[in-house]
Amino acid sequence: MLGHLQISTPGPLEKPMPQFITLTQIRTRIFGTPVLTKKLHNLKNYPYTTWYISRSFVRKNKVYYSISNGGKVKGVVWHGYVTPAVVKSLNSFNSNSDYLSYLNTDKSQKLSRALLKLIPNANVSLNLSKQASMNKITNYQNIINLGTLSGTVTEGAITHKTIVHDFLMGFSATNAAKAKTAGKMLAAKGYTSDKLASLMSQGYQVGIYVNDGAATSVGKSGYPSTISFKSSVQNNMAFVIAKPKEN
């Protein structure tokens, strides 16, 4: 199983699409249709790119994925040319610095990095991130849930109302574009970069957890059937700021 999608059967995903990353400098091509007749893009031009799978199918005993980078680049690729992104459990980190290092470097955390750029001098708290991911913030005050702020966004020819969380969990834009739109939504509610920087200087901390459809574990064989999406967290995208309660 890959999410709710059988590997050998094409069809739409019923849950957020799992996230995939290209291998470095692959010398093969993404094909345009399930019959694999038209070459559209060369993966070597997209190193370290996040891909989202919309379906899988089998052709000549080989598994292929229909993928997109969230933007205009779409096509079909053999499953062996991409590798699943795996998000680490928040309980695997022992300190704020450990968690921040992960956010700043791990391939599954591109959206996290883009969002943190919206907050100058962001003071990331592992403890607040854990609590926010479980929707149970207890020892903080003046909580501002940035993920639940509402706004209006335009996707293609459609303009609609949404909240930051739901927009970020969509797949119609790249991570950079998502963060840019989220920044506009925050600013429209008064949370400009200057305002957020001011809150950081007042002792506010940032709680952030972004799953973005990544797997939680992958078997050693790497075959899609060994990918797991099981997680104990309650919120697949937590983005809050708050002040620790005074003792």
Sign of the torsion angle spanned by Cα atoms 102, 105, 110, 111: positive
Q: How many residues does the chain have?
A: 247
Inter-residue contact 108 to 187 (CB < 8 Å)? no
What pTM value is reported for the model?
0.74
Output the six-digit token pair for 67. 């993928």
How many other β-carbons are positioned within 10 Å of the β-carbon of residue 25?
A: 9
Q: Which residue spans within 130-204 are E strands per DSSP?
A: 140-145, 150-155, 158-163
Residue type, 229: F
Whole-angstrom distance, CA of residue 229 vs CA of residue 8: 19
What Rg do the C-alpha atoms of the chain give, in angstroms?
19
Question: Would residue 11 be called left, alpha or beta, if left means φ above 0 and alpha means ψ between -120 and 50 degrees?
Answer: left
From first to last of the 247 residues of the chain, give the pLDDT tens digit: 233 221 212 223 333 444 444 333 333 455 555 556 677 777 777 766 777 777 777 777 877 888 877 777 788 888 877 777 778 899 999 999 999 999 999 888 989 999 999 999 999 999 999 999 999 999 999 999 999 999 888 766 778 889 998 888 776 677 888 899 999 999 999 999 999 999 999 999 999 999 876 777 776 654 455 666 677 776 788 999 999 998 7
